[in-house]
């Protein structure tokens, strides 16, 4: 991937149904297979009907801390009632040279992974 490819993607319009949301806890645990890692993020979503995902950012080269966004998407008729969430992501293939950085609506957290 080259810089022009990332620029082309960033020029596309953003979806209106998805937003960064906050998180309360970030944990990285080893996977079942050696040298694999699982990210677990939990918190409270603002809409009970919202789907929460962990989305790694796109890079041209491996950064020190690979950014992973906490994204909540709402479709159809929503119910604006808070609810807890917990999501996981295999981060084995999206590790920075030092670890990861979880990115939420109002905060970020770096986690060293070795």
Return the percentage of the chain with pLDDT > 90, whole number: 78
Give residue 67's pLDDT. 98
Asked if 50 contacts 78 with a C-beta cutoff of 8 angstroms, the reply is yes
Pairing of strands 37-45, 25-30: antiparallel
Looking at residue 15, what DSSP letter applies?
Answer: P
pLDDT at 32 over 80: yes
Helix (H, G, I), strand (E, B) or coil at 7: helix
**Digit-coded pLDDT (tens) for 58-109:** 998 999 999 999 999 998 888 889 999 999 999 999 999 999 999 999 999 9
Give residue 8's pLDDT. 86
Domain spans, the chain: 3-112
CB contact set of 1 (below 8 Å; sequence gap of 6+) = 58, 60
- Whether the predicted model's global pTM rises above the 0.85 cut: yes
């Amino acid at each position: 991937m080259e810089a022009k490819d990332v620029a082309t993607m960033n020029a596309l319009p953003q979806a209106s149904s998805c937003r960064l949301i906050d998180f309360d806890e970030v944990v990285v645990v080893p996977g079942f297979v050696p040298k694999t890692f699982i990210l677990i993020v939990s918190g409270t979503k603002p809409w009970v009907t919202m789907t929460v995902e962990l989305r790694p950012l796109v890079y041209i080269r491996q950064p020190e801390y690979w950014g992973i966004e906490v994204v909540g998407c709402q479709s159809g008729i929503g119910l604006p009632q808070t609810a807890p969430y917990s999501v996981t992501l295999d981060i084995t293939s999206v590790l920075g040279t030092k670890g990861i950085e979880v990115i939420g609506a109002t905060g970020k957290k770096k986690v060293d992974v070795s």
